[in-house]
Amino acid sequence: MSEEQTPDPGGTSITPQELSNASDQHQFVHTAQLKEMLRNEQSNISQEKVDDYLKTLNKARAKRSKIRSGETSGSSSNITISSANIDANKKERVNLLRQQLEENKARLAQRGKSQKGIEEMVIQLQAQLNDSQTLVSSTPLNISLVETKNLDYNENTPQKELYNILLTKERKIADLLSKSEKLEGSVLDLQENLKEKDSVIDARTKAVTLMTESLSKKGKTTLDALEETKDEMRLMQESFVNLEADMQARQSLLLNDLKAKNQQIYELNEINDKLTRNLREKQKSIRGAPFRVTTAEGLEVEVTRRELALREAMILHDVTAGEPEGEDFEKRFSEICEKDANLKIAELEMQLKGALLRLEEKEARIISTQNGADLLRENRILHQEISDLYAKIEELEGTVVQLQKFEHQYIEAAEAMNRTTQENENLLSSHSNNLEKIGALEKQLADALTELKLLKNTGMSKSVKSDKDDGEITKLKKQLEESNKNMIKMRAVQKGKIKELNKKLDQFKKMNDSNVLITQLQNEIVNLNEKIAELEDEKGNLQLKMVDSSTNSKDDFTESEEEIKQLKEKLNKTEQEIDEKDKVIEILEAGESYWTDRQKIASYT
């Protein structure tokens, strides 16, 4: 111990200052790693907060979509129901905000508990540091003594001892290097394990998000399908009820028509019986008095003509009193045509009977006078008259056939008119559907504005808000463009149908001078043009509403920027507090690393 120490002949001696420097370096490395770990945890915590906010917003959107789908399925005329739904939406928003406040309170309480645990750990670590410092103050002296005992050398020491000293120092250096390499390898392995765990966690989170998105989409599709089936069932029930009512009304009308026709048949049979009786009496009187045939025939013809005039007057009275519609008009028209044909046939039969009576008279004259040539001439003239009468009968039968054809054509025209009316009703229903779609788009715009306000309250970043709002605005613009395209298509279809109706009008004008039908079709065309103009006005109003909504969204963005600045200031304050806590933790970790290094040095020696 009294001898002076000389420098090492082949190596360097490890002094306690170098050991302290090495321990300081290890402490610095450990503190840097711990800082990185804490920063990563803070970033993960912020991302978790964002995910929680997004989940709550998605839940709120799903609830709102369900509520709004229920509102659309109900009748739009009930204003009280819509106001009640608005109140319910407000209550739900308030409840959501309360839930968010409760969750934030619970998180703050958890943070307070974690901070208390950290403070307790800090106190324990301080106590351990104090104990370690007491132990460290006693250990270095023994190490220096052992080193001086084992590794002291002088000029007088033999070469073998010096060689042994060199070997021992080289072994120690090699051991220290190998241990440092092992420690570095263990650090790298731990880092790789952490990276693998992070990748596994990310993959799991992505899989969970995909599963939740797929489940939410499936749920939405099933709900939409159920709502569509419900609407279809309701429409089917309503149509069935309407059909039943129409069938009952038609049955009642048919029964009334049957009763009226039975009465008419009974009256006509009575009239026919009376006429047959009168004819028989007249024939008897004619046979009894042959010279009065001409007067009797004239009376019968006058009677038939008067009956025809009376019936025509009745028909004109019916037409002027009230124009029949639909099937009643067709039936009456056919009955009138049949009656006219029957009356004409009866007139011709009466004329034939008169001609036959004349022949009988002339035959009697031939027998009485025996003027053969003149009578034969008269006979030929009568035969020509009879042939003319038969030709007239055939012409009348042809007219009856033509009337029947005209009736069929009239029925077909009426069916075509019914089809056109149904097509117009379908156009009106499609127009109402377009109006409902436009209302749904307006509701979606209102929903987008409400979601923007909710995002303000939750404190989301400006970039997320702007991206979402831009996406929603683009979606709404696309929907408006689609609705405009549908409107253009509907207009083209309606124009084509109007052209078809005009063609049908021309055909009806050629077939028959039915001015009533033409005026009705013209009125329908005017109504369709008015509806097209109304649709164009609604389109312009929607575009104006889109412009107003874009301006309102810009104002909302300016307000959100101010709120975001306030939130950034709060975040800076919290980051300062976290940095202070990091400093305390670094001090504690430095003490722990110093104690571990001392223990390692003691174990090596």
Interhelix angle for 79-151 vs 16-73, to 10°? 170
User: Among 167-176, 215-224, 236-245, 512-521, which is the least confidently predicted range?
Assistant: 512-521
Comparing CA positions, the residue from 10, 405, 73 lying closest to residue 229 is 73
Span 364-392, average pLDDT: 57
Among the listed ranges 231-240, 384-393, 427-436, 508-517, which one has the minimum average pLDDT value? Answer: 508-517
pLDDT tier for residue 200 given thresholds of 50, 70 and 90: confident
Q: Is residue 543 part of a domain?
A: no
- Supply angle C-alpha 231, 233, 237, rounded to 5: 115
Residue 297 lies in a domain: yes
Averaged over 369-386, what is the pLDDT? 57
Cα R_g (the chain), whole angstroms: 56
Residue 318 has pLDDT above 70, yes or no: no
DSSP letter for each residue of 329-350:
HHHHHHHHHHHHHHHHHHHHHH
Question: What tokens does 121 get?
Answer: 């750990």
The residue-averaged pLDDT of 523-530 equals 62
3-state helix, strand, coil split of the chain in percent (to 5) is 95, 0, 5
For residues 91 and 84, give the distance between their C-alpha atoms in angstroms, rounded to a whole number: 11
Q: Tell me how far apart the alpha carbons of residues 319 and 313 are, in angstroms, rounded to a whole number.
A: 10
For residue 74, the 8-state DSSP code is S
Whether residue 294 has pLDDT greater than 50 = no
Contact 375, 366 (CB under 8 A): yes
Q: Work out how many domains the chain is built from and give that number.
A: 1
pLDDT per position as a tens digit, 535-582: 566 656 655 655 565 555 556 556 656 666 666 676 666 667 666 666
pLDDT digits (tens, 9 = 90+) for 217-247: 887 888 888 888 888 888 888 888 888 888 8
Q: Which residues, 6+ apart, have CB-to-CB distance to 122 below 8 Å?
A: 584, 585, 588
Task: Give the per-residue pLDDT at 514.
Answer: 47
**Residue 59 is assigned to a structural domain of this protein:** no
* pLDDT of residue 293 exceeding 50: no
Read off the pLDDT band of 141 (50, 70, 90). Answer: very low
- Cα dist from 555 to 214, 467, 549, 558, whole Å: 35, 16, 10, 5
Tens of pLDDT, residues 468-494: 556 666 776 677 677 667 767 776 776
In percent, the amount of the chain with pLDDT more than 90 equals 0
Whether pLDDT at 51 is above 60? yes
Show the domain range for 372.
Answer: 289-425
| Residue 527 resides in a domain | no
* pLDDT at 266 > cutoff 60: yes
If one compares 564 and 444, the residue with the highest pLDDT of the two is 444
Cα–Cα distances in Å, from 319 out to 40, 333, 336, 601?
Answer: 94, 11, 12, 126
Compute the mean pLDDT over every residue in the chain, rounded to the nearest whole number: 66
Determine, yes or no, domain membership for 382: yes
Evaluate if pTM is beyond 0.75: no
Tokens 């035969």: give the residue.
383
Is 593 part of any domain?
A: no
Q: Which of 2-6, 122-126, 323-327, 541-545 has the lowest mean pLDDT?
A: 2-6
Please name the residues in contact with 173: beta carbons below 8 A apart, sequence gap of 6 or more.
11
Higher per-residue pLDDT: 167 or 12: 167
The tokens for 153 are 């050398």
Residue 47 in any domain: the answer is no
- 383 occurs within a structural domain: yes
Rounded CA separation 539/140 (Å): 91
Going through 109-242 in order, the beta strands assigned E by DSSP cover: none
Can you read off the two tokens belonging to residue 141?
């002296």
pLDDT at residue 232, rounded to an integer: 84
First to last CA, the chain: 20
- Count of CB atoms situated within 10 Å of the CB of 317: 9
